[in-house]
């Protein structure tokens, strides 16, 4: 089942349901803000203070950072403009009793061309089943090439940040955005303070474990992964986030960031894909 719904203020979203799982996707930003199995807690963290209002980014779930990750392009808002742009629903279909798929699309507009002078088509395909598959497809419709950095900025719920461990990034080059230093990661990642790093040359699945669950993230079209937790001081200064929210999530982001940027020539396409599976411990 795919149903178009809205909050009292008119903010629209899609609700997808089948026998295996359910999800909610805002039309603004094609933002997946809920995904859960039947009778189970949401895989993603969503701020209880997050605004569902046009023009305001949703805090939590999976924001789309596009066509720039972070402040990679100083002419664009942080993380680009896709996350506050209205997408259109292109198609929806049932793939049996246990899988549902939707495709949403964003194209260049007068407003986007004022921010970023390139013609494009951006499609986001989401398949909801016992796994969640997200494919972000960029097509260059311009006469000139353009540089692309992007991320599926996934906020994963954890039972307690001090119990969380991220595996699969050992021996990978790590850029620490807090110290501006690059080095080789020597161990699995645990959290005792603010963490903000981009890992390169990632070629295997990432595992997120905590006291309650084990989560697998497999990426395609990407060799960079961002891991982030703001910790107490930054969390208390952030919008739409209570001061203790840092204890409830960790971001493990499928990305094309830093050295993993893409150059798309006219009519070229690139797909960033993430497949997420949550298993009980």
Q: Where residue 240 sits, what CATH number does that domain have?
A: 2.70.98.10
Alpha carbon distance 3, 272 (integer Å): 26
Predicted local distance difference test score (pLDDT) of residue 17:
95
The helix/strand/coil state of 117 is coil
Predicted local distance difference test score (pLDDT) of residue 51:
83
Residues of the chain with pLDDT under 70: 72, 280-281
**Tokens 């395909």 belong to residue:** 125
Range of the domain at 256: 2-280
E strand intervals along 38-177: 64-65, 88-94, 100-107, 120-128, 132-140, 146-148, 150-152, 155-157, 165-167, 173-176
Contacts of 10 by beta carbon, 8 Å cutoff, 6+ apart: none
Domain count, the chain: 1
Bond preceding residue 67 cis, omega within 30 of 0: yes
pTM: 0.96
Predicted local distance difference test score (pLDDT) of residue 280:
58
Alpha carbon distance 72, 69 (integer Å): 6
Contacts of 260 by beta carbon, 8 Å cutoff, 6+ apart: 149, 200, 222, 223, 224
Predicted local distance difference test score (pLDDT) of residue 235:
94
For residues 224 and 256, is the Cβ–Cβ distance under 8 A? yes
User: 229-234, long-range: CB within 8 Å, 24+ apart, which pairs?
Assistant: 229/161, 229/191, 229/194, 229/195, 229/196, 230/194, 230/196, 231/191, 231/193, 231/194, 231/195, 233/194, 234/194
Predicted local distance difference test score (pLDDT) of residue 251:
98
Predicted local distance difference test score (pLDDT) of residue 281:
53
Predicted local distance difference test score (pLDDT) of residue 70:
81
Contacts of 220 by beta carbon, 8 Å cutoff, 6+ apart: 271, 272, 273, 274, 275
**Residues facing residue 194 across a β-bridge:** none
Q: Could you tell me which of 275, 178, 259, 270 has the C-alpha nearest to residue 217?
A: 275
24 Cα distance to chain centroid: 14
């Amino acid at each position: 089942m795919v149903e178009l719904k809205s909050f009292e203020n008119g903010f629209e979203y899609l609700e997808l349901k089948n026998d295996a799982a359910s999800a909610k996707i805002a039309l603004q930003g094609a933002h997946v803000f809920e995904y859960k199995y039947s009778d189970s807690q949401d895989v993603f963290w969503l701020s209880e203070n997050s605004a569902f209002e046009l023009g305001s980014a949703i805090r939590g779930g999976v924001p789309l950072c596009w066509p720039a990750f972070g402040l990679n392009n100083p002419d664009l808002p942080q993380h680009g403009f896709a996350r506050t742009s209205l997408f259109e629903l292109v198609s929806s279909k049932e793939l049996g009793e246990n899988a549902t798929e939707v495709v949403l699309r964003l194209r260049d507009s007068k407003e986007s061309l004022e921010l970023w002078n390139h013609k494009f088509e951006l499609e986001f395909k989401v398949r909801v089943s016992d796994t969640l598959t997200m494919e972000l497809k960029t097509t260059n419709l311009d006469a000139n090439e353009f540089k692309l950095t992007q991320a599926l900025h996934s906020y994963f719920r954890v039972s307690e940040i001090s119990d969380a461990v991220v595996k699969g990034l050992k021996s990978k080059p790590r850029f620490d955005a807090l110290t501006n230093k690059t080095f080789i990661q020597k161990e699995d990642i645990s959290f005792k303070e603010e963490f903000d790093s981009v890992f390169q040359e990632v070629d295997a699945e990432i595992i997120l474990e905590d006291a309650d669950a084990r989560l697998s993230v497999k990426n395609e079209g990407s060799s960079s992964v961002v891991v982030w937790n703001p910790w107490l001081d930054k969390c208390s200064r952030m919008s739409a986030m209570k001061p203790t929210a840092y204890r409830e999530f960790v971001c493990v982001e499928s990305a094309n960031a830093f050295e993993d940027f893409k150059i798309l020539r006219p009519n070229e396409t690139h797909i960033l894909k993430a497949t997420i599976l949550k298993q009980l411990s």
